[in-house]
Amino acid sequence: MFDPLLLALIMVSIAAGFFLGYRQRRQSQRQRQEGSLNSEYFVGLNYLLNEQTDEAIESFIKALEINADTIDTYIVLGRLFRRRGEIEKAIQAHQDLLARPSLTHEQSLRVQLELAHDYIKAGLLDRGESLLEDMLKTPWSGADESVQLLLSVYEQEKEWQKAIDVIHQAQGVDSHLYQHQLAHYHCELAEAALEGNDVLTARKNLRLAFARDRDNVRATLILGSLECSLKSYRESARVLQRIYQQNPLFISESIPLLERCFEALWSSRGLSVYLGKCLREYPSAAVVLASARLIARQQGDKEAGRFIAEQIVKRPSLKGLNALIDLNIENTEGRPRQNLMLLRELTGRLLESKPVYRCTQCGFDGKTLHWRCPRCHQWGTTEPIMGIEGE
């Protein structure tokens, strides 16, 4: 399959060749060079069309003089080296460009950005970080791309406070465009603080997270868990019920903690009312099973089983089916019990093989809720999977 970057190199090279040819035609003293230059260009283009990349690159390097008119071509060449995994060549090409005194300030920054990409690709995060930090001290057209690249470095290093600071301090960057990311950075700091039993710092960062994004479900779950750990069960339940308005898809994530809070408060009615509201508006397997557990405590397993069966008819769910089988196994003996246990083993294996969460951006799925997708690196795009095999 033809590489899009090679196509870009072809187009840039054609444009540069046309411009240089035009300029040379205006300079009669260079007429003899014109044929040589065009010859090298067409040789290079022929190599590219035949996907002989190494030969094409060598040909273009011979043909092109590094100056303001050919910088785009050399940048594309550097990108091509990087794409092919030849990082040392990419670094050398971009360092050679930077050594040219004829570059404008904007062109110099563009080449530095490419060099930062090279360093990061090579795993030289400290060099990339240092270069990008210097670039962001003055506003320029590529500031947003520079910020995103620097943020990717900080995220790899888990330098959350640095990530927050660069968004606020970078010249020519609108921090309002990064509110969603900022909220997650503050959540990361809050979780780190809680690991060190620093409740005050955790609360401070959670307040800042909500200030950036008041509908951030992650911050709500962290705060609810914090209040519960401090035995502030009523406050924890109040906080967790916000998810109903924030993003109902995550109600299932709050159910276990809510059950614990209402149980500690001896408030079965409070839990029943909330679950009933969720069941009417945003039904899920987690809500059904929590409701069934509540019914079992109040009315017994038989009524709980009847409730699950009714809900499965309305909204088929593998999790619901497993719960129904479990209830029947407890109240069955002999051969029927053995058959149910065999069925339960099969449905259990089926459920275990299915992912629980999926990124809405790239489709990455798994059994762990990643607030930052491991594949596309977007924040807050992973959600619980709904449907028969999910919630």
CA distance 163 to 23: 46
Total domains, the chain: 2
In a domain, residue 49? The reply is yes
In a domain, residue 189? The reply is no
In a domain, residue 203? The reply is no
- We report the CATH number of the domain holding residue 80 as 1.25.40.10
Which one of 173, 188, 220 terminates a domain? Answer: 173
Q: In this predicted structure, what is the pLDDT of residue 186?
A: 98
In a domain, residue 64? The reply is yes
Q: In this predicted structure, what is the pLDDT of residue 246?
A: 97
Q: Is 187 annotated as a binding residue?
A: no
Q: What is the pLDDT along the chain (391 residues), one digit of tens a residue?
A: 446 655 555 555 555 555 555 555 555 444 444 444 445 555 555 655 566 666 665 555 555 555 556 677 778 878 888 888 888 988 988 888 888 787 888 889 999 999 999 999 999 999 999 999 999 988 888 899 999 999 999 999 999 999 999 999 888 788 889 999 999 999 999 999 999 999 999 999 999 999 999 999 999 999 999 999 999 999 999 999 999 999 999 999 999 999 999 999 998 899 999 999 999 999 999 999 999 999 999 999 999 999 999 999 999 989 989 988 888 888 788 888 888 888 888 888 888 889 999 999 999 999 999 999 999 999 999 999 998 888 8
Q: In this predicted structure, what is the pLDDT of residue 312?
A: 92
Which one of 126, 148, 173 terminates a domain? Answer: 173
In a domain, residue 238? The reply is no
In a domain, residue 72? The reply is yes
What residues have CB less than 8 Å from 68, skipping those under 6 apart?
102, 103, 104, 107
Q: In this predicted structure, what is the pLDDT of residue 239?
A: 98
Which one of 127, 148, 173 terminates a domain? Answer: 173
- The count of C-alpha atoms lying within 13 angstroms of the C-alpha of 128, restricted to the half-sphere facing its C-beta, is 25
Predicted TM-score (pTM) of this structure:
0.80
Q: In this predicted structure, what is the pLDDT of residue 211?
A: 97
Q: What angle do CA 330, 306, 248 make, to 5 degrees?
A: 105
CA distance 89 to 21: 28
Rg (CA), the chain: 30
Q: In this predicted structure, what is the pLDDT of residue 285?
A: 94
For residue 224, give Cα distances in angstroms to 199, 200, 362: 13, 15, 29
Q: In this predicted structure, what is the pLDDT of residue 40?
A: 54
Instruction: Name the token pair of 188.
Output: 């990361």
Domain of residue 33 covers 4-173
Q: Is 362 annotated as a binding residue?
A: yes
Q: Is 373 annotated as a binding residue?
A: yes
In a domain, residue 280? The reply is no
Q: In this predicted structure, what is the pLDDT of residue 236?
A: 98
In a domain, residue 81? The reply is yes
CA distance 113 to 101: 17
